[in-house]
């Protein structure tokens, strides 16, 4: 980004204290002074603390100007100020202007209850073989992160791959109409945020909002194995492609073989090409299918897609294999969790060969609302006592799974630890695990099982 402050003022409808000739050049935006770089425009947002409190810190870090909300003026600062009704709205207005008027790349927007970050990484890797691509960094996938991602693009960007998350109705509508995607992708409908939406039907309705800004000649790519999506897709006028495991899809996978560090599969369309992705799981194959369909939309050759998928970089903390201090193999998947994802990873984990025992460490899945008990209990169907030797449970809501397992596993193979007792969980695991064992850890990030992973890897104690 490189724009005169006077031009930014015109975009957001603010008075600028400079003429065009004298106006300073803005080279970026920041809403967190810890990440602010000299030349940035500071955007004070409401959070745990009011962002306006940090305008002084922004000046000290080298900010070139700041937005100020109308209801906060006057602000005593030497920074040039653009007074706007809402700094967040102004940020979004500026992002849309920069996207459409300064860069004008093709836009691929990706959402889904599971898999959106992995699909984003895969899609960016495929498209980067042929185009200058920018993708959403980390998890900058909300109404703040999307405009910040857009404003971080170089002007020579040809394709923007933007991840869009949501936890309430209307959120995807706003982001989609801002970005006006050429391709919209929905990976799947799960139970994430069901506490707020109450039903999967309502989650599906909210996910479909990603098509609200889809260009008239755009393409809607979605998981055709999900009836909630196929039903709603009938109301989308743009062209459509589906992916999945069923033969009725535009693109479907077969001959899937999952290993600890990679998964092999072939495709209906090019049966002679064998694809490999450097992560485990059938559920990641469907993510790859979405990326393949996007690649074909942009005329990337199948053989090029094959090579790109074989070497794409996975965002940290998603199905990461580590070696523990005792020599055990650890599968860390502690970034987030919902019932669909938890059952899928347990099912795959149970098939990996090992000379020792398979041990699973599962924590609460958050934001499941009134259905939390039933949904935690449903994970029991994925746990085969003949393949899983020990189950460690951690949290509050996970007690429903403990009760469900009582009917299928001996009590001495199921170990429960309440949320305050993470140190006890770590001690129990360190005493139990041997070098031949294989350990899976999965929970919502709020349970902080990453601390357990760290202790197992380093041999440290909580």
**Does the annotation place 112 within a ligand binding site?**
yes
What is the model's pLDDT at position 194? 59
DSSP structure string for 318-372: SSEEEE-TTS-EEEEE-S---HHHHHHHHHHHTTS--SS-EEEEEE---S-GGGH
Which 3 state secondary structure label does DSSP give 154?
coil
Distance CA 5, CA 25 (A): 6
**Does the annotation place 343 within a ligand binding site?**
no
> CATH fold of 105-310, please?
3.40.1190
Q: Which of 37, 72, 40 is nearest to 53 (CA)?
A: 72
Distance CA 213, CA 183 (A): 10
* 8 A C-beta contact, residue 352 and residue 260: yes
**Does the annotation place 115 within a ligand binding site?**
yes
**Does the annotation place 145 within a ligand binding site?**
no
**Does the annotation place 27 within a ligand binding site?**
no
* 8 A C-beta contact, residue 426 and residue 455: yes
**In the chain, what percentage of residues exceed pLDDT 90?**
82
**Does the annotation place 213 within a ligand binding site?**
no
Which 3 state secondary structure label does DSSP give 158?
coil
Query: CATH for 320-458, among 2.60.120.10, 3.40.50.720, 3.90.190.20, 3.55.40.20?
Result: 3.90.190.20
For the chain, residues with pLDDT lower than 70 are 191-197, 316-318, 462
Q: Which residues are CB-neighbours of 155 under 8 A, at least 6 positions away? A: 2, 102, 103
What does the H/E/C string look like for 112-136?
CCCCHHHHHHHHHHHHCCCCCEEEC
Q: Where are the domains of the chain?
A: 3-85, 105-310, 320-458
**Does the annotation place 378 within a ligand binding site?**
no
Query: CATH for 3-85, among 3.40.50.2000, 3.40.1390.10, 3.30.565.10, 3.10.150.10?
Result: 3.40.1390.10
Residue 158 token pair: 């040809």
The model's pLDDT over 242-278, given as tens digits with 9 standing for 90+, comes to 999 999 999 999 999 988 889 999 998 898 999 999 9
Q: Which residues are CB-neighbours of 98 under 8 A, at least 6 positions away? A: 1, 3, 150, 151, 153
* 8 A C-beta contact, residue 141 and residue 116: yes
What is the model's pLDDT at position 368? 86
């Amino acid at each position: 980004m490189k724009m005169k402050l006077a031009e930014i003022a015109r975009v957001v409808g603010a008075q600028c204290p400079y003429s065009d000739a004298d106006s300073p050049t803005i080279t970026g935006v920041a809403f967190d002074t810890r990440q602010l770089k000299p030349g940035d425009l500071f955007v004070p947002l409401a959070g745990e603390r009011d962002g306006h409190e940090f305008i002084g810190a922004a000046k000290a870090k080298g900010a070139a100007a700041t937005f100020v909300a109308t209801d906060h003026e006057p602000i005593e600062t030497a920074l040039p100020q653009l007074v706007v009704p809402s700094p967040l709205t102004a940020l979004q207005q500026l992002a849309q202007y920069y996207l459409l008027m300064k860069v004008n790349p093709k836009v691929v927007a990706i959402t889904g209850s599971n898999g959106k970050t992995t699909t984003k990484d895969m899609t960016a890797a495929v498209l980067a073989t042929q185009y200058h691509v920018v993708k959403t960094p980390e998890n900058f996938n909300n109404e703040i992160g999307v405009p910040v991602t857009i404003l971080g693009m170089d002007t020579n960007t040809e394709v923007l791959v933007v991840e869009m998350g949501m936890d309430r109705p209307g959120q995807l509508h706003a982001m989609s109409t801002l970005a006006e995607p050429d391709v919209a992708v929905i990976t799947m409908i799960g139970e994430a945020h069901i506490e707020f939406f109450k039903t999967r039907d309502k989650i599906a309705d909210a996910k479909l909002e990603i098509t609200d800004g889809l260009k008239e000649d755009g393409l809607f790519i979605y998981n055709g194995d999900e009836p909630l999506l196929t039903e709603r897709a009938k109301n989308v006028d743009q062209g459509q492609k589906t992916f999945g495991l069923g033969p009725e899809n535009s693109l479907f996978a077969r001959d899937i073989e999952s290993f600890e560090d990679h998964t092999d599969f072939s495709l209906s369309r090019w049966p002679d090409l064998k694809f490999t992705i450097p992560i485990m799981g059938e559920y990641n194959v469907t993510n790859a299918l979405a990326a393949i369909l996007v690649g074909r939309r942009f005329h990337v050759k199948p053989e090029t897609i094959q090579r790109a998928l074989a070497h794409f970089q996975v965002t940290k903390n998603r199905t990461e294999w580590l070696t523990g201090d005792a020599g055990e193999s650890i599968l860390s998947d502690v970034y987030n969790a919902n019932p669909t994802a938890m059952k899928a990873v347990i099912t795959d984990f149970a098939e990996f060969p090992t000379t020792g025992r398979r041990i699973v460490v599962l924590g609460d899945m958050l934001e499941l609302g009134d259905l939390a008990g039933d949904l935690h209990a449903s994970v029991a169907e994925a746990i085969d006592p003949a393949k899983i030797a020990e189950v460690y449970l951690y949290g509050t809501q996970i007690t429903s799974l403990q009760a469900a397992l009582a009917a299928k596993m001996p009590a001495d193979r199921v170990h429960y630890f309440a949320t305050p007792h993470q140190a006890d969980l770590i001690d129990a695991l360190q005493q139990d695990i041997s070098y031949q064992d294989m350990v899976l850890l999965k929970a919502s990030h709020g349970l902080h099982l990453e601390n357990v992973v760290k202790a197992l890897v380093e041999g440290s104690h909580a």
